[in-house]
Amino acid sequence: MGKIEAKLHELGIELPAPTPWPAHLPLIPAVRVGNLIWLSGKTSKMTGKVGRDVTVEQGYEAAKECAIGLIATLRDELGDLDKVKRIVKLLSMVNSTDTLTQQPQVAHGCSDLLVAVWGEHGRHARSAVGMASLPGDATVEVELIAEVD
């Protein structure tokens, strides 16, 4: 078991099993160029708008869901999570009412888990912002760039 896999186990995080990607889709989960990998936006299964349908605390859990999905994509793409050198950048998009001001508190749900897993190498640049709406009414969608070995 790799170091990061062991850390996930220690944190009680179980990654979803790899699932075949629908071949008809024009997009793919990730594209790597050199030592950088761009991941497609991962939406939470939790639905509803923060500030109206779900609380900031629930939104935090939705963002954590996104982190788990993103980590699973990194595992599926790289084969071994120890190949992730560092998390570079997140765009954390929160399904928001037009008066929500706490997008960072929601987005921390994803960011905190990445730091719990990768430590200092998990700390990243980030924007956390309010979207008018998201696919399938997802509560949060996060896209990620990582540096890989």
> Residue type at 107?
A
Measure the CA–CA gap between 36 and 146, rounded to whole angstroms: 6
Q: Does 131 bind a copy of itself (CB under 8 A)?
A: yes
**Terminal Cα-to-Cα distance of the chain (whole angstroms):** 18
Q: Does 126 bind a copy of itself (CB under 8 A)?
A: yes
Measure the CA–CA gap between 140 and 20, rounded to whole angstroms: 23
- Among residues 5, 30, 61, 76, which is the contact residue for a copy of itself, using CB under 8 A? 30
Binding mask 50-69 for a copy of itself (x = CB under 8 A): --------------------
DSSP string, 30-46: EEEETTEEEEEEEE-S-
Classify residue 47 by burial, with Cβ atoms within 10 Å: 0-12, 13-18, 19+.
middle
96 φ, ψ to 5°? -125, 145
Binding mask 74-103 for a copy of itself (x = CB under 8 A): ------------xxxxxx-x--xxxxxxxx
Q: Does 13 bind a copy of itself (CB under 8 A)?
A: no
Q: Does 7 bind a copy of itself (CB under 8 A)?
A: no
Q: Which is nearer to a copy of itself, 6 or 129 (CB)?
A: 129
Q: Does 45 bind a copy of itself (CB under 8 A)?
A: no
Contacts to a copy of itself by CB under 8 A: 26-31, 33-36, 38-41, 49, 86-91, 93, 96-104, 108, 111-112, 114-115, 122-137, 141, 143, 145, 147
